[in-house]
Amino acid sequence: MSETTFKIQRFNPEKEKEPHFQEFKLEIQKGATLLDCLNQIKWTQDGTLTFRMSCRSAICGSCAVRANGHAVLACKTQASSLTRNDQVTIQPLGNMEIIKDLAVDLTEFWKKVEAVKPWLMPDEKETLVFERTQSIEEFLKIDRASTCIMCSSCYSDCCSMAVDKSFLGPTALTKAQRFVEDSRDKETISRIKELSEDAGIWDCTHCSECSQRCPTEAKPLDRIVSLRTVALNNGVTNNNGARHAKTFVKSIKSSGILNENTIPVGSMGFFNIPGLLSLIPVGIRMFLKGKNPPLIHHPMEELDDVKRIFKKFEKK
Amino acid sequence: MKYALYTGCVAKGAGRELLTSTYALAGKLGIELVELKNVSCCGAGVITEDNPELADTLNARTFAIAEEMGLEILNICGTCQGVMKKAQAHLDKDEKYKNKINETLKEGGHEYKGTVQIKHLLTVLSEDFGLSSLRSKVTVALDGLKVAPFYGCYLLRPFELSDFDDPDNPTEMEVLIETLGGTSIDYEGKLKCCGFPYLMMKKKESITMAGNHIASAKKEGADCMVTPCPLCHLSLDPYQPESAKEIGQELDIPVLHLPQLVGLAMGLKPKELGMQKHIISTKKLTDKIGC
């Protein structure tokens, strides 16, 4: 069996200015996980290599690292699946400060989870005969979110987080969905109002990185979409994100295809003068190149059938 | 070769040069396109937020119409492709759900049977038309041109719906670029989000995201970027001056639509491909390959 080169990012902020890579050679044993390999390296080659681990069974969420640029749970990933030309690159999770080597500072991560009030807030005045029960359908709405193991893989690879550290992020929002859509919780509206504020549910770009890196069935993007549906269905729409969604749907309902000219004012709001003014340079630039959407918007053919479908859903 | 062309909204709106270049390229390659004019927007992942079943119904209607024509759907927008594949997966995995949606379609005279194939132009060129056929038609080889492929989220993720063999390490665009004689470059932003979906909500963050990716392509020496998604193009091209200002770095990297890059290699003129409509001038790159 040939040796694999593990190119591992090392960093001790107390002694070094910048992180650097160190190479370790290891023969990957059949069936070995990435965590097995990291342990082998630590035990037999360099005891100072630092990383988190605990259960080795993909349930504690401690051992997430980035392999070849993407977050993985080390104990759930076969090392052989990561090698490219007999090499694998290991780095600490992204979007967080490094404590040492592969261990990152999770303080902000946990603060954001706490910020969504991750506990049940039922109607305390309710007279209970036995306990608060749920139907299977009600339970299934929160079942997926409940599988989150807080490994922060999604948080690490979130593209929105990379440019805005204030974003609540996929883990906290997944946790939020677990309570917003819990039939026993009575704070749905106040929760969704808070989550609709800046740095909340509308600050996600749909890039799907979170769901892709999630090692469980929690799939954060689906949970975020679900939260947005709750916001729209409950009229919590006084923000750019919800206004954008409403304007988009209205445009399709009226002409079958998107009238891009309606989006800026619809999304930003008619009275958002600074926001709209900021779009003037790009608008002029596009107009001069003939890149603006047609001034007269042509609806799709057979629009009546699409309008009929929209009407049917309104009735529902 | 004949396909039902799903144009998507952008190719009829702010990115009409995508449609122009698609028709020009199809004409050159002898691919027949029948434009679907009686179908709605795919929803771009937004309608599904308002009502998931409504979004799936609208897409099922599109699929049914293509099935009635007996043609495969050809997408020229990465987002449309990803959204449609998702809708198709919802319909195909749940017979009861599919039947419920077909009940709604029935009044309009349509039924989604589940036979339609949904393909992006990238796959049609690489697999259906074939790389060797494409190579034989190259008249202006993109010699020396360094091209940075920008995939866009929807063709990559979720993996199970992607047409690529290894969406974390895709080679489809790279192989196509090399087939045309160009040099494909690897760079940090290649598989990342362009930021377009929240451009109207979080402009500063969105243009920073785009700016970082363009800068990473420039750092690796790119002459231009190429994307199979017009939403990515809208983020990377028209807003590039804002992106450059936001990240405090000169960028000036032209961003081509996929059929424009292929079209150039097939001997089509920049004007026939609508390249005069770009905000970032494409002249430097067309001069470099001599067309």
Which of helix, strand or coil describes residue A156? helix
* A156 reaches B (C-beta below 8 A): no
Pairing of the two strands A64-67 and A70-73: antiparallel
Candidates A309, A310, A311, partner chain B, best to mutate (most B CBs within 10 A):
A309
Which chain B residue lies closest to A294 (C-alpha atoms)? B13
Contacts of A282 in chain B (CB under 8 A): 238-239, 241-242
What's the rounded Cα separation, in Å, for the pair A191 and A168? Answer: 14
Predicted pLDDT of residue B273: 98
Measured over the CA atoms of residue B89, residue B92, residue B95 and residue B99, the dihedral's sign is: positive
Which residues of chain A register pLDDT less than 50? none
Mean pLDDT of B2-19: 97
Closest CA of chain A from B251, distance in Å: 16
Query: Are B205 and A159 an interchain contact pair (Cβ–Cβ within 8 Å)?
Result: no
Contacts of B238 in chain A (CB under 8 A): 282, 285-286, 291
Of A202, A246, A260, the CB nearest to B14: A260
Query: Are B107 and A212 an interchain contact pair (Cβ–Cβ within 8 Å)?
Result: no
Which has the closest alpha carbon to B289: B181, B211, B192?
B181
Predicted pLDDT of residue A1: 64
Residue A2 vs residue B274, higher pLDDT: B274
Produce one character per residue of B142-164: b if its CB has 16 or more CB atoms within 10 Å, e if not: beebbbbbbbbbbbbbbeebbbb
Candidates B39, B40, B240, partner chain A, best to mutate (most A CBs within 10 A):
B40
Using CB atoms within 10 Å of the CB of residue B101, give its burial: 0 to 12 exposed, 13 to 18 middle, 19+ buried.
buried
Angle at which helix A169-180 crosses helix A136-143, to 10 degrees, equals: 170
Of A204, A256, A309, the CB nearest to B41: A256
Closest CA of chain B from A291, distance in Å: 5
- Residues B122-175 pLDDT 10s: 999 999 999 999 999 999 999 999 999 999 999 999 999 999 999 999 999 999
pLDDT at B62 over 70: yes
Contacts of B9 in chain A (CB under 8 A): 257-258, 260
Contact (CB, 8 A) for B230 and B257: yes
Of A160, A244, A278, the CB nearest to B203: A278
* A199 reaches B (C-beta below 8 A): no
Contacts of B5 in chain A (CB under 8 A): none
Of B45, B51, B157, the CB nearest to A212: B157
What residues form DSSP beta bridges with A26?
A: A4
pTM score of the predicted model: 0.95
Which has the closest alpha carbon to A161: A119, A118, A117, A213?
A213
* A263 reaches B (C-beta below 8 A): yes
* A315 reaches B (C-beta below 8 A): no
Contacts of A281 in chain B (CB under 8 A): 241-242
Predicted pLDDT of residue A264: 86
Confidence of residue B85 (pLDDT cuts 50, 70, 90): very high
pLDDT at B221 over 80: yes
Q: How many helices (H) and strands (E) does chain A have?
A: 14, 7
Q: What is the DSSP string of A275-311?
A: HHHTTHHHHHHHHHTT-SPPSSPPPPTTHHHHHHHHH
- Residues B12-28 pLDDT 10s: 999 999 999 999 999 99
Predicted pLDDT of residue A153: 98
Contacts of B209 in chain A (CB under 8 A): 159, 162-163, 205
Query: Are A302 and B38 an interchain contact pair (Cβ–Cβ within 8 Å)?
Result: yes
Predicted pLDDT of residue B289: 92
Of A159, A229, A252, the CB nearest to B193: A159
Predicted pLDDT of residue A128: 81
Query: Are A257 and B40 an interchain contact pair (Cβ–Cβ within 8 Å)?
Result: yes
What's the rounded Cα separation, in Å, for the pair B27 and B25? Answer: 5
Mean pLDDT of B86-98: 97
Which chain B residue lies closest to A211 (C-alpha atoms)? B158
Residue B6, φ and ψ in degrees, nearest 5: -100, 110
Q: What is the mean pLDDT of chain B?
A: 97
Contacts of A285 in chain B (CB under 8 A): 238, 241, 279
* A228 reaches B (C-beta below 8 A): yes
Helices (H), chain B: 16-29, 47-50, 52-69, 78-93, 95-106, 121-123, 131-136, 153-156, 172-179, 203-219, 230-236, 240-247, 258-265, 283-289
Q: What is the DSSP string of B39-52?
A: -----TTTHHHH-H
- Residues B245-261 pLDDT 10s: 999 999 999 999 999 99
Pairing of the two strands A64-67 and A87-91: antiparallel
Query: Are B43 and A208 an interchain contact pair (Cβ–Cβ within 8 Å)?
Result: no
Which chain A residue lies closest to B158 (C-alpha atoms)? A212
Which chain B residue lies closest to A257 (C-alpha atoms)? B41
Predicted pLDDT of residue B259: 98
The amino acid occupying position B83 is V
Predicted pLDDT of residue A276: 87
Q: Which of A121-125, B68-72, B93-97 has the lowest mean pLDDT?
A: A121-125
Candidates B201, B235, B280, B283, partner chain A, best to mutate (most A CBs within 10 A):
B201
Predicted pLDDT of residue A304: 96
Predicted pLDDT of residue A315: 63
Of B45, B200, B278, the CB nearest to A206: B45
Contacts of A310 in chain B (CB under 8 A): 54
Which chain B residue lies closest to A206 (C-alpha atoms)? B197
- Kindly calculate the radius of gyration of chain A based on its CA atoms and give it in whole angstroms: 24
Query: Are B15 and A291 an interchain contact pair (Cβ–Cβ within 8 Å)?
Result: yes
Query: Are B198 and A203 an interchain contact pair (Cβ–Cβ within 8 Å)?
Result: yes
